[in-house]
Amino acid sequence: MTLQNTFQSDHLLLKALRGQEVSRPPVWMMRQAGRYLPSYMQLRRKYDFFTRVQTPELACEITLQPVDQIGVDAAILFSDILVVPQAMGLEVQLVENKGPYLPKTIENRSDINSLVVSEAADRLGYVYEAIRLIKSELNGKVPLIGFAGAPFTLLCYMVEGKGSKNFDKARQFCIRRPDLAHMLLASVTEVTTEYLKRQVQAGADVVQVFDSWSGLLSPDDFKAFAEPYLLSIAEALAPLAPVILYPKGSWYALQDLSNSPYVAALGVDWCISPSMARKLTGSTITLQGNFDPAHLHAPVDQIKKEVHRMIREFGHRRYIANLGHGITPDVPVDHARAFVDAVKSYTPDM
């Protein structure tokens, strides 16, 4: 799919990414295809996680569930950011109730040299096949968002070997051996760029890059270990599809990132106010976010009020309504639907 073909669409998401006038903001939710949906849990009981990810028919079914059941304005591919380290030759396990575990971590130059780079994107054919199936099933109903993890976030897992609150080992690796850190980041960036290009070729209308752990970095370290690689990916993908960057917690980077002509939108979490996010970005770029998923446990009427206030504060133009991070498994389905319905009921005169 070419950029021209994508941008001929009148879908709200694509219009918002172009900064065009919309009657209301588009809405979708990070992790919208997941454990809060009973239909997803049925498949979870039958198939392990990577079977679900690596089986195109299952990935397609899971991707479509929130579109059909919640009414979101975009589908996002059901996959995982750690398929890239897998494709690069690292074993990735998903330990029940604990999260991801990588038995072999990156520690030295030899480990980096042993990674698969040039052929890694070839190993992710199941993702591209899933995208083709999803696009066929969607049949133009809503756009499809492809995604990947940002290089720094993937470095965190590849060096730490598991999830962590602070990723101390990974951050210390960057400081002790910045030469090796940049070597690893460059390799991951190369693979991720090609991976996202192939997602677009398979049919993804938009791509989002998740830098889930960049908020652990100081502003100076972000500029060294995160920003150059995010912008490199954006520059490479922008001629093909709109690019959304989501540097969670890195509010200090919004101004610099918004100055890039290659970034279509920036995702923000709930730890920054809409007014401050607009001020930092000069209201020149589409923003996405930033409803706290914990507030989806509020009464439905309160969810509606908070959503409408959020939209008023961001402004309904150059804005994509979303959560500030992924929906949690314990959110009632009717509360997730209330969030989406609240956005859809919004009118600019509210």
Task: Show which residues are catalytic.
Answer: 31, 35, 44, 80, 157
Ligand-binding annotation for 297, yes or no, is no
Residues 6+ apart with CB under 8 A from 145: 28, 74, 75, 76, 77, 204, 205, 206, 207, 208, 244
Residue 254 has a CB neighbour count (10 Å cut-off) of 23
Q: Rounded to whole angstroms, how far apart are CA atoms 264 and 258?
A: 9
Ligand-binding annotation for 157, yes or no, is yes
For 40, 155, 248, 305, the CA distances from 209, given in Å and listed in that order, are: 24, 14, 11, 30
Burial class (CB in 10 A: 0-12, 13-18, 19+), 191: buried
Ligand-binding annotation for 319, yes or no, is no
Ligand-binding annotation for 291, yes or no, is no
Helix axes 333-344, 300-314, angle to 10 degrees: 40
Q: E strand or H helix at 201, and its extent?
A: helix 178-202
Q: How far apart are the two ends of the chain, measured CA to CA in Å?
A: 37
Ligand-binding annotation for 212, yes or no, is yes
Q: Are 204 and 144 contacting, i.e. CB atoms less than 8 angstroms apart?
A: yes
Q: E strand or H helix at 254, and its extent?
A: helix 254-258
**DSSP 8-state assignment for residue 332:** -
Ligand-binding annotation for 16, yes or no, is no
Ligand-binding annotation for 52, yes or no, is no
Q: Are 133 and 60 contacting, i.e. CB atoms less than 8 angstroms apart?
A: yes
Ligand-binding annotation for 33, yes or no, is yes
Q: Are 33 and 51 contacting, i.e. CB atoms less than 8 angstroms apart?
A: no
Closest CA to 155 of 177, 181, 179: 181
Q: Rounded to whole angstroms, how far apart are CA atoms 74 and 80?
A: 18
- Residues at the binding site are 31-35, 50, 80, 157, 212, 325
- Residues at the binding site for substrate are 31-35, 50, 80, 157, 212, 325
